[in-house]
Structure 1
């Protein structure tokens, strides 16, 4: 998969930009707050229909403007296409070859990215919701059905929690909960089955990467921590039954607290190295290595699913990695994964890589090619 060029209008600090990206390694260099990360974010947006750093599309619009537009020409082994997103007062629109698509989530059917940024350490160091969001985002990019289950689950959860709050004051009948319990357990059990599967695949790929980076000195493991009791041998119907029975068992407690206490919205996963939890006991270097292993594992998972590598977006992380990890990363991706790197200092990258790269100087929302020799 290759992004040949990108066109931006009124996106972040870019009034208008047309940029060729026809190289396997693209480097964006410049001082902070000039637009390097914004450019990466526009590419990420094309694959998800959402931003990496913001939950509100209107925050992505250039100052004093009323819309933004992102267009790109993307090539895969078997076809080329033009992928675009526009956002204005009428909402968000995805187009493929100029034709509007009905679902924003279809973007991941055509284009995929993996991004690694300093804030991704939250996957390990942050709250359980950070890890759930990370896992949900990965699975949704690979499995559209999962995204549907997740959307429906969250709608049911919202309605069920509203009912529980009313039951505190006996404004509704307890019998109404039975309907929501059935729906919540239906969608929730299917979410859990997908999470078990994809997290196991992520772990296996991450273990290979982590072992290579650490020269087999460390062993990485990932454990899913569910708020439900289950057995790995259970099928989806058995999990659904157990989920519904647990909701019945927690009913009085949930009514007292006015919220749903069990389900995938309460779950977490733990990353360990040599059987010690990295969040608690890992050094900064170990934490970075674990996140790097997860990101490289994402590349392989997407390749297994799509038969094409996604774009790798590295946002100001090369200076955070030591020389051996930088070299490992660039060697692993060379020639097979289009990689776009932002940096404030070209000296943070190997000289051999600079000679092969397409390099742009980013300044005040503009880009100028640098001829490196």
Structure 2
């Protein structure tokens, strides 16, 4: 799935914008502070119906606008064209359309492109709490194997049921023995979820090691999945829960299971989250996103759209060349930069260039 055109109306600083994207590399260039990041955020918003920068989507609506609208045109591998649109007005439900038909969700729709985004703000994925990395890992599982999305959903439902039952036990409405069936049910879904996560990390690990080294992350890079449970059967997981039941009853919720797992990014056995510099953390995040992209290409047969905002400023000339060469092997990519010269090959004929001018007007540069 390739994005061919993006239209923004009342989105952030862009009152009315329409740009064409190339099937390979598109470079958005211009000085800082005039809307490059807003443009790629709009692209992400149009592909997913959510922002990649904020949970308060009121911020996405321009100051002088009542609503924001993003339209994305795509072409699938069969050459069929599709039109995606997301309309957002604060206080109202989003209006999401695919080929003029209203849909409730865009993320699961087959007509929308997979998209991966690198933003400086996403460093929280490396140095933030485990919940961010768990959620990201589960998103990768779902992107690789869409049918496995149900595993995480089933686990969350069983966990909610057990937590509700813990409240009834605490209140004296039922005895502890009422938890036993739910402990086994939770264990069944927990082991399936752990297996999906472990398989995904094993798939990503070789690519992460190679790409991190190419980008200049010193030492021995490693991805490591850290499950809380050591059980290899639902009965074993239920036994672990039984050992912790007093603590669960005191807290009022289940404190053990895959909802407490973590994904560690390591160098020489030490976590980048704790021991890495900000530059090393950026390289680790970039390597993670790129190895996920290659895994998706291997499993799904198509690389996702890769959006890279302000990544070139942190890389030397050799690393920039390696990054662009890897991006151009397959799939579609959008890079923002303050200087077109920072993108090796950015002036070549097959690269689409979008210049953001001083007054914020976007002008599509013609290929050389």
The TM-score, its normalising length taken from structure 1, stands at 0.85
Deviates more, 1:361-370 or 1:74-83: 361-370
Q: Work out whether residues 3 and 21 of structure 2, in 8 Å CA contact, stay in contact via their aligned partners in 1.
A: yes
For residue 354 of structure 1, the aligned residue among 347, 352, 361 is 347
Distance 1:163 1:362, change over 3 A: farther
The Cα shift of 1:314 comes to 0.5
Distance 1:172 1:15, change over 3 A: farther
Q: Distance in 1 between matches of 2:190 and 2:360?
A: 44
Deviates more, 1:146-155 or 1:15-24: 146-155
Q: Distance in 2 between matches of 1:165 and 1:32?
A: 53
Q: Work out whether residues 120 and 310 of structure 2, in 8 Å CA contact, stay in contact via their aligned partners in 1.
A: yes
The Cα shift of 1:211 comes to 3.9
What residue ranges of structure 1 are gaps of 5+ in the alignment?
Answer: none
Q: Distance in 2 between matches of 1:179 and 1:63?
A: 54
Q: Write the deviation string for residues 147-182 of structure 1: whole angstroms up to 9, x where unpaired.
A: 333334334434544554565454665455345434
Match of 1:137 in 2: 139
3-state DSSP class of the match of 2:54? coil
Match of 2:18 in 1: 18
The Cα shift of 1:253 comes to 1.3
3-state DSSP class of the match of 1:254? helix
- 1:280 has 2:274 as partner: yes
Distance 1:30 1:65, change over 3 A: same
Equivalent positions of 1:318-357 (< 5 A) are: 318-334=312-328, 336-350=330-344, 352-356=345-349, 357=351
Q: Write the deviation string for residues 257-312 of structure 1: whole angstroms up to 9, x where unpaired.
A: 22211111101122222333333333444333322221210111111122112111
Q: Work out whether residues 15 and 365 of structure 1, in 8 Å CA contact, stay in contact via their aligned partners in 2.
A: no
The Cα shift of 1:193 comes to 1.4
The Cα shift of 1:329 comes to 0.3
Q: Work out whether residues 6 and 19 of structure 1, in 8 Å CA contact, stay in contact via their aligned partners in 2.
A: yes
- 1:250 has 2:267 as partner: no
Q: Which has the higher helix share?
A: 1
Q: Work out whether residues 340 and 346 of structure 2, in 8 Å CA contact, stay in contact via their aligned partners in 1.
A: no
- 1:312 has 2:301 as partner: no
The Cα shift of 1:319 comes to 0.3
Match of 1:114 in 2: 116
Q: Work out whether residues 76 and 308 of structure 1, in 8 Å CA contact, stay in contact via their aligned partners in 2.
A: no
Q: Work out whether residues 116 and 315 of structure 1, in 8 Å CA contact, stay in contact via their aligned partners in 2.
A: yes
For residue 197 of structure 2, the aligned residue among 184, 195, 198 is 195
3-state DSSP class of the match of 1:304? helix
The TM-score, its normalising length taken from structure 2, stands at 0.86
3-state DSSP class of the match of 1:107? coil
Q: Distance in 2 between matches of 1:242 and 1:73?
A: 50
- 1:81 has 2:94 as partner: no
Distance 1:42 1:180, change over 3 A: farther
Over aligned residue pairs, what C-alpha RMSD do you find?
A: 2.9
3-state DSSP class of the match of 1:91? coil
Number of residue equivalences: 364
Q: Distance in 2 between matches of 1:38 and 1:200?
A: 35
Deviates more, 1:181-190 or 1:162-171: 162-171
Distance 1:108 1:186, change over 3 A: farther
The Cα shift of 1:133 comes to 2.1
Match of 1:95 in 2: 97
Match of 1:226 in 2: 227
Match of 2:52 in 1: 52
- 1:369 has 2:347 as partner: no
Distance 1:67 1:165, change over 3 A: farther
Q: Work out whether residues 149 and 191 of structure 1, in 8 Å CA contact, stay in contact via their aligned partners in 2.
A: yes
Q: Work out whether residues 141 and 148 of structure 2, in 8 Å CA contact, stay in contact via their aligned partners in 1.
A: yes
